[in-house]
Amino acid sequence: MRIDEYGKHLRAQGVSDDSIMRQSPIIGDFIGFLEQTGSTKLPAAAGKGEVERYARKLIEENLNTLENFSILSNYCDWLGQRKLYVALIELMDCHNALEVLATEVEKRHGREVRELIFCDPLPPLGADEKERGACTRRIMERMTSMLAPEQIRDAWFQVQHGIPAGYWNRHDQAEREKYLKYGNIDEFLEAKRRERDAMLTKLRDDKELWYTVEIDDEVLEFVRSDPEMEGGRRDGDKIYITKIPYNATRYLHETDPQLKRYYACHCPLLREAILNDLPVSPEACNCSLGHASHYLAGLGLDLKGEVIESAVRGDTRCRFVFSLPRK
């Protein structure tokens, strides 16, 4: 599947020969796996199922590293195999979130509480949504029996999709500089909406993905019509933020309420529970609340937020509110 051509592409991008040599075995093994399953005959049809089976192979061989999954996702992106690319990204998404949660629980409540709540091994990198979801449900059951609701919310708030603090520090500083340029909350939020629309318009025009979301005219208009989406809308001393649905295209056309909630949810630790109508505490959605808090980091305020709608608890969208300090 054009592996020699891909090597030339990497060299043109300034990638060293040593790095290309390190990438070749995992790419070659992946191609061999697809050939064995017959997927290379119809590569456009290959996707989540094939990737999850290959990931299980890597887990068994102790080769399920973030580097290997990143190599494969970059290769599939270059190859134009979008289904394979998205499936690989989904396996890496929030890959360390439960470990971050465990660390946060220990920091707040001690080693003994952590060991009681996280008494089972965490799913390995490359585990599918079913395995990750089952583990999350067990963890949430133990957290609910041992911690108060506000303690659970506070711990999950710090997870923030498992994104490293270093990234957030750079992001928040850039947002702070942006806010200081405007010096006004409403102008700041309006500027963020303009940036959002410009970014999504370019992705539509270039036929590129926003993370795993396809942006077409319908999705673009849907987002642009809602000032809350990925930016924020102020109403008095409240700022409301709504998440763009995870699979916006299917979300917009879905009539089944359960599937609509599934397509709305971004969390690979919880989506499977929605799909199969399994009980799970919506307190885990405070992870996304923490993530969304960085949309407003430019204000330089320690804002108190709340999850007011979520797909996990039965709503058809995920929505948050942050309260500005009273003057």
In the numeric block, which tokens belong to residue 322?
A: 């942050």
CA–CA separation, 128 vs 91, rounded Å?
7
Residues 245-298: tens digit of each pLDDT? 999 999 999 999 999 999 999 999 999 999 999 999 999 999 999 999 999 999
Decide if 281 contacts 144 (C-beta within 8 A).
yes
**Which residues, in sequence order, are CB contacts of 109 under 8 Å at separation 6+?**
147, 151
68-115 per-position pLDDT tens digit: 999 999 999 999 999 999 999 999 999 999 999 999 999 999 999 999
Cβ atoms 239, 321 nearer than 8 A = yes
0.75 exceeded by the pTM? Answer: yes
- Which residue in this structure is represented by tokens 């700022």? 239
Both tokens of residue 194? 């303009």
- What are the residue ranges spanned by the domains of the chain? 3-92, 97-152, 162-323
Query: 3-state SS of the chain: helix, strand, coil percent to 5?
Result: 65, 5, 30
